[in-house]
Every structure is written in structure tokens, then in C-alpha cells.
Amino acid sequence: MMSHDEDQVRAVIWRDDALELLDQRLLPMEIRYQRLTTGVEVAEAIRNMVVRGAPAIGITAAYGVVLAARAHWAENPDHWRKSLHEDWQRLASSRPTAVNLLWALRRMEPIIAECSSNPVERLLAEARAIHEDDIAANRRMGQLGAAVLGERGAVLTHCNAGALATGGYGTALGVIRTGHAAGLIERVYADETRPWLQGARLTAWELVQDSIPVTLLADGAAAALMQQGRVRWVIVGADRIAANGDVANKIGTYGLAIAARHHGVRFMVVAPTSTVDLSIPDGTAIPIEQRAAEELLTLGGQPVAAAGTEVWNPSFDVTPAELVDALVTERGVVWWPDTAKMTGIMGEMSDAI
């Protein structure tokens, strides 16, 4: 059983000179870690959804650089950078929407450029720092987000923005963990989150582990839940946030934001500043990953749709900034984000804007 102070769920672990990833495709029926020793294996694991969640993907990619550099240095110390570049590119293209992936890889670049001797120890130290910084940021966001919840009530979340999606503790679930411990959240409603069922398989599992009351609902039931006045906040994570505050998150988030605004339910996005991409002016420029048709046509290997059906399967949608009431980062809370407020939070440390 996890405690509020020390959740034991860890999606990403560096152990005995290798990377261990909790295979999230098997949860909640089986807890199995994959042990990875090469950069190619890490890129494949990210692409195949062994690990998911923008912060966790970034941390994983950083460790992937360590594994790739170790192999290429051992193979040819004179040309390791050139060989490493191919693995770097493979990691960078493994999931196109999560900006944390590129952010983490770019943090490794100066070390790659500077090192004249074996780079592995310095790269590993940087990957560990990225990992530890993420956990610290999640705990800070948990405090900041819980502080604005107001009176006790229930909340709705979508996908999984928990310890499994991050270095530990979680973004949206970090706020929920802190809020529940403070007596501000009495129940969590979790969307099942088709087609990968991250809400059913992952979020509900995390909350049960944490003894936080959780009720699962079909994605299509969320608007009716709000109509009945059952929730006060929708709390979600993010995979990329544009300079104006538009938010890319798991498909289905946009519909929740529209329903929340109509029903007077507040909408909170919780994400570290590594998720903010100031190079993109608004959400129309965020690349949206299209995934395989099989994800909708089959379930557990069994067909669930008529043969010959065509599929549109975007992994993410974009929620306009005007539908976001509060954006919680480790640097503070941005109320009703816009370009000026986003530029401010990215440029200076502050508690609120």
C-alpha cells in the first residue's frame, strides 16, 4: 500500500547499470518490469507504450541516451558522437506530441558536446537529476494545486497523470493525492479513457493502491456526471502546452473542458514547465500523433468493429486556453492562461500570476 509521503509506484527505475520500465500495457493484471540495455530498446519501449505520460517519457529518453552513449563509447571511442546521433534521433521521434521528450534530450546535448573522455557518468548524473527534479516538481505542484481547490468535494480526471506517467507522485494525481490527504477531495471519478484504458487500468489502480475512493465511468458519461452536479473540478495533465496556454492532452480532454465550462465546473491542468513549448504560438501548431487503426478495431486481440471500417485515431486533442481555469506548474498557478501570463511564468519564479 502506498502512503501519501512515499508512493511506491515507479514507472522508471535505473538499477544495476540498466533501465527498468514498468510495462504499463499489462497493468493492472500483472506487474512486470522490462530491463533495457540499449538506446534502440528504449526508443521501441516508448513507441510501443511500455512507458507513457509526457514526464516519464522524457526521463526514459534521458536514460536511453546514457545506454546508447555507453554502447557507442565501448565500440568506438573516437567516433561515439556520430554513432550516438542516430540513437538520439530515434529517441526524439519515438512519440511526436510529448515535448518533455525533446526537452530532456536537449538537456543531455551540452554534455555530449563537451565530453572528451568517457561521457557515461556525466550523462547518468544528468538523467538522474532530470528524474529527481520531476518528482520534486510534482510534489510542489501537488501543494499548489490542492491550495486552490476550495471547499471539499469530488473531482474528475482523464487518462493517467499519476506516478506512472511521471518520475513519481504524479501531476494531476499529485494534486489529487495532496488534496485528498488535506480532506479537500472526497472522491475521484476516473474516465476509462479509450482506447488504451489508462483511466481504468492505471489511474483507478493507483488510487486503489493509495486508498483514495475512486469511481470509474465510461468517457461518454462524464457530461451527465457534471450535469448532476457530482464534481467541482476536472483535473488533468498535459503533453504539450503552447505559448498562449492551449493544452494538448489525451484525446477526450477537449470534450471534458467544453462540458465543464457549460456546467460551471472548474478545469485545472497540472504540468511541469518542461511541458510548455514557447516556440509554438498556439495549439494549432502542436503535432498530434495518429496511432494505429488496430487500437480501435480490436480489444485484447479480439475484433470489436466491422471488417472494412476506416479509423480516425488521434492520440491527443487540444483544449483552448480560454477553457482552462487554472494551469498549475512547479513555478506557480496561472489563472486563465494567455500568452502574456505564460511568458511571465516561464521567465520568472512566482507563486501566482
What amino acid is encoded at 113 in this protein?
A
In order of 224, 226, 229, 260, 330, the CA distances from 220 in angstroms are 8, 12, 16, 13, 32
Could you tell me if 22 and 11 are in contact, meaning their C-beta atoms sit under 8 angstroms apart? yes
Which residue in the list 23, 210, 239, 317 is annotated as catalytic? Answer: 239
Do you find a cis peptide bond into 320, omega within 30 degrees of 0? Answer: no
- Catalytic (active site) residue 78: no
In order of 185, 203, 219, 279, the CA distances from 7 in angstroms are 18, 14, 27, 35
Q: How far apart are CA 4 and CA 27, in angstroms?
A: 21
326-329 vs 12-15, strand pairing mode: unpaired
Closest by CA to 25, choosing from 44, 55, 51, is: 51
Q: How far apart are CA 257 and CA 228, in angstroms?
A: 16
Long-range CB pairs of 113-119, under 8 A, 24+ apart, other chains included: 118/73, 118/77, 119/69, 119/73, 119/80
What amino acid is encoded at 250 in this protein?
K
Q: How far apart are CA 18 and CA 64, in angstroms?
A: 9
Coil, helix or strand at residue 161? coil
Angle between helices 120-146 and 172-181 (to 10 degrees): 50
Catalytic residue IDs: 239
